[in-house]
Amino acid sequence: MKFKRNLYAFYLMVNSLKTFVPEEGLKGKRVAIVGAADSVFKERNGKYIDDHDVVVRINKSPHTWRKDQSQHVGSKFTLLYHSFFENDFSGGGKIDWNMFKEMGIQKVINPNPTKEGLLAHFNYYKRHFSGEKTYMLKRKNYNLFKKKLKGFTPTVGYAALASILQAECKEIFITGFTFFKTPYAGNYRPGLEKMDANKEHIQKQGLHNPNFELKSFKHDLLETKCKKVILDKELEKIMEGERV
């Protein structure tokens, strides 16, 4: 029975998993990327976010979105970068296709095409037996990100930023990213709302390095083919070195 389940899950994965290429799908588009940091609530950018052609969100954002916060975070969902780990504490939350379609999510993208990422994807198909199309980034793109991070695993948020900055977009607006220099927004990660708890969690995992990600992000901004990149005010301060 277990063998048949695994075989069917593998069949679904082979037939449903596609490659997402930002350089092709986002060329000439105005793209907003919305992260999970509390900085997203410091400005009322909701309407501006929704005016973009494509709105990219991260992991648990569909589950934590609230209508009464839309003046800050907007209400448009187009692409969701997701770890395909469905736990609530450190993963991306449940992949709920009915919810996602109602919210307008067109593609769910796993940015990690390594052995570990493929296993997470395979386990997703074992849990759901779903034939819905899912997406992954190209391995060569991901390997480049990881090399820049000196072997540390890119967070889903950084992978979204780095991959989209490679595309020749007309405009990119980035908000809700502080590279763990401020807490998560609201109830995004219950138990990790305070900076000390969050830093301890990152160190305990040993997978990510926010400082390397910030340094790499600065480099990505210099190399981007996008015609115009706009940062929210909190991220601007971080880039200028005002927040340490």
Q: How confident is the model at residue 152 (pLDDT cuts 50, 70, 90)?
A: very high
pTM: 0.94
Q: How confident is the model at residue 65 (pLDDT cuts 50, 70, 90)?
A: very high
Question: Strand 107-110 relative to strand 134-136: parallel, antiparallel, unpaired?
Answer: parallel
**Cβ(60)–Cβ(82) under 8 Å?**
no
Q: In the chain, what is the straight-line distance between the N-terminal and C-terminal CA atoms, in Å?
A: 54
pLDDT for 242 beyond 70 = no
For 172-217, write each residue's pLDDT tens digit.
999 999 998 988 877 777 666 666 766 676 666 667 899 999 999 9
For 9-33, write each residue's pLDDT tens digit.
999 999 999 999 999 999 999 999 9
Residues above pLDDT 70, as percent of the chain: 92
At 132, the amino acid letter reads E
On average, the pLDDT of the chain sits at 91
Q: Pick 97 or 242 by higher pLDDT.
A: 97
In the chain, where the domains are located: 2-239
What kind of architecture, by CATH, is found in domain 2-239?
Alpha-Beta Complex (3.90)
For 32-61, write each residue's pLDDT tens digit.
999 999 999 999 999 999 999 999 999 999
Q: Tally the C-alpha atoms within 13 A of residue 183's C-alpha that lie toward its C-beta.
A: 14
Residues above pLDDT 90, as percent of the chain: 78
For 80-124, write each residue's pLDDT tens digit.
999 999 988 778 999 999 999 999 999 999 999 999 999 999 999
Q: What is the pLDDT of residue 89?
A: 75
Q: What is the pLDDT of residue 243?
A: 44
**Cβ(109)–Cβ(133) under 8 Å?**
no
Q: How confident is the model at residue 244 (pLDDT cuts 50, 70, 90)?
A: very low
Q: What is the mean pLDDT of residues 69-88?
A: 95
Q: What is the pLDDT of residue 91?
A: 84
Q: What is the mean pLDDT of residues 129-153?
A: 92
Q: Tell me how many degrees the CA angle 124-130-94 measures, rounded to the nearest 5.
A: 50
- Which residues have CB under 8 Å from 232's CB, separation 6+? 39, 40, 42, 43, 45, 173, 174, 175, 176
173: nearest Cα among 41, 52, 13: 52
